[in-house]
Structure 1
Amino acid sequence: MRLCSIASGSSGNCIYTGTDHTHLLIDTGISKKRIEEGLKGLEIKGEELNGILVTHEHSDHIQGLGVFSRKYEIPIYATKGTIEGIKSYSGLGKMPEGLYNEIQVDERFTIGDIQIEPFAISHDANEPSAYRMESEDKAVAVATDLGMYTPYTVEHLKNLDAVLLEANHDIHMLEVGSYPYYLKQRVMGDKGHLSNELSGQLLCDILHDGLKHIVLGHLSKENNYARLAYETVKLEVTLGENPYKGEDLDMLVAKRDSISEILEV
């Protein structure tokens, strides 16, 4: 399996995962042109995509969905609540019949040779989900936009070969930054976003010898920067109750405006 971030950040998200035979996008929160440029770097054409998995209906996750999926008639997979949210998005445009496929959290489904397990996340959206993908004996997951995590979250992220995990903000930067009070409370709340520290603590709970690739994603443009997220997560792992050290990790930070390296598992 392969995992690659085409774009990841508070201003737009689009992640690729796939095998030699099946190609999926998780979210399309950037323009059609940028999605196509990212796919070109992966040597994949839009018409070769087998599906788009949508985590939730916020614009930084569906901004390009209407234009892109219409052009290539790519099936869209999302929970009932997320589909309702997508349909009410003003930038969607008229969609062809039959593109929406309703899924349910904790119910596996298959696209091509990939088994997909959506699982619930805590975020201020209709019915948000993260995704775990498995093919043969390999597993990857994308988990962003979760204000908190529980043993349920950890269970769905165990025994992965690669993961893209949210490290949205530095708490101090957020507290002293320019956001209005209500927005600070939203971001830090249980239905907001994971801080760098919480991201590192969640990583401690899912680390094992087989987790070869870690990508930190969905960084806030205003309240974080890549080096800070990277070092904070490393420190949490080093200080955590686990046998690993931060410097042992194969970890990178996804960029908001360019494609990451292609991670093979």
Structure 2
Amino acid sequence: MKFSVLASGSTGNAVYVESGDQAFIVDAGLTGKKMDQLFQKIDRDIKKLSGILVTHEHTDHIKGVGVLARKYNVPVFANEKTWDAMDHLVGKIPTEKRFHFDMETVKTFGGLDIESFGVSHDAADPMFYTFHENGRKLVVITDTGYVSDRMKGIIRGADSYIFESNHDVSMLQMGPYPWSIKRRILSDVGHVSNEDAAIAMSDVVFEKETQIYLSHLSKDNNMKDLARLSVSQTLQSVGINPGEFVHLHDTDADEPTKLVLV
């Protein structure tokens, strides 16, 4: 199993995951043209996608879903409430390419098991995904106001994480956003901060080689260096020293990460 964080941030999100002849993207929150470019950068053929796994209906996660489904005849998977919420946003998708992926279920594609789980976000029925193959585990978890014990139980012990580290609380509080938006981001249905993300990480990582990709960073309320430093310091405060068995990586809003083995 290999993956690349194609794009991550408030302007658009997409994660590529492949296993054998199966290839999926979690969300397509960029234009079809931009998605084409990102696939070229990781040397993969977008025409060979097995499906798009939708997490929720916010624009930065579904902008390119309809275009890719129609242009490349790609199946789209989402739960019922998300389908209802995004139908008018993604345009017409052929009935034979519309599939339901219920919350907290597992679908198997070849040797790849994909498990869905719910998160806490201000969307119709938001959920993310865990990928299992031959004892290896990849977790994608962003867009959640907090990480509950139930979520931790599902994502615990993964080999690789694409983990939200959205904002620095001080930057957000002192920044230009209206108070209503600040309150939404800081709420239980908003986004996790650098420190809260690290606390959750400390509860789910095992003492084995673990790759963590810090994701969905706010353009206005965070910086890569600050996120990495904050997460590192919080992990160190509970006895986990990044660089020993936990390794932190950046993601970008415009450039994909290298395609890496889980």
Q: What range is the shorter-chain TM-score in?
A: over 0.9
Give the CA deviation at 1:191. 0.2
Which residue of structure 1 aligns with residue 200 of structure 2?
Answer: 202
SS at match of 1:250: strand
Which residue of structure 1 aligns with residue 249 of structure 2?
Answer: 252
Which residue of structure 2 aligns with residue 86 of structure 1?
Answer: 86
Give the CA deviation at 1:112. 2.9
Which residue of structure 1 aligns with residue 210 of structure 2?
Answer: 212
Cα distance in 2 between the residues matched to 1:163 and 1:22: 20
Which residue of structure 2 aligns with residue 173 of structure 1?
Answer: 171
Cα distance in 1 between the residues matched to 2:209 and 2:140: 14
Cα distance in 1 between the residues matched to 2:55 and 2:48: 21
Which residue of structure 2 aligns with residue 30 of structure 1?
Answer: 30
Cα distance in 1 between the residues matched to 2:252 and 2:107: 30
Give the CA deviation at 1:103. 1.5
Which residue of structure 1 aligns with residue 9 of structure 2?
Answer: 9
Structure 1 counterpart of 2:213, one-letter code: V
Which residue of structure 1 aligns with residue 53 of structure 2?
Answer: 53
Cα distance in 1 between the residues matched to 2:110 and 2:83: 22
Cα distance in 1 between the residues matched to 2:200 and 2:209: 14
Which residue of structure 1 aligns with residue 231 of structure 2?
Answer: 233
Which residue of structure 2 aligns with residue 137 of structure 1?
Answer: 135
Give the CA deviation at 1:14. 0.6
Unaligned runs of 5+ in 2: none
SS at match of 2:6: strand
Structure 2 counterpart of 1:254, one-letter code: T
Give the % identical residues.
31
Which residue of structure 2 aligns with residue 43 of structure 1?
Answer: 43
Structure 2 counterpart of 1:16, one-letter code: Y
CA separation of 1:7 and 1:100: change in aligned 2, threshold 3 A = same
Q: Deviations over 1:42-75 (max 9, x none)?
A: 3221221101101000000000111111111111
Picking from 239, 247, 264, the partner of 2:261 is 264
Structure 2 counterpart of 1:38, one-letter code: L
Which residue of structure 2 aligns with residue 122 of structure 1?
Answer: 120
Give the CA deviation at 1:138. 1.0
SS at match of 1:183: helix
Contact 2:56 2:126 in 1 (8 A): yes
SS at match of 2:176: coil
SS at match of 1:98: helix
Structure 1 counterpart of 2:53, one-letter code: L
Cα distance in 2 between the residues matched to 1:184 and 1:165: 21
Give the CA deviation at 1:232. 0.4
Give the CA deviation at 1:2. 1.0
Structure 2 counterpart of 1:209, one-letter code: E
The normalised TM-score by structure 2 is: 0.96
Q: Which range moved further: 174-183 or 202-211?
A: 202-211
Q: Deviations over 1:30-52 (max 9, x none)?
A: 11122112212232212211011
Cα distance in 1 between the residues matched to 2:130 and 2:109: 13
Contact 1:3 1:162 in 2 (8 A): no
Give the superposed CA RMSD: 1.2
Cα distance in 1 between the residues matched to 2:199 and 2:117: 19
Q: Deviations over 1:179-226 (max 9, x none)?
A: 001000000000000100011111101111334311000000010010
Cα distance in 2 between the residues matched to 1:247 and 1:125: 36
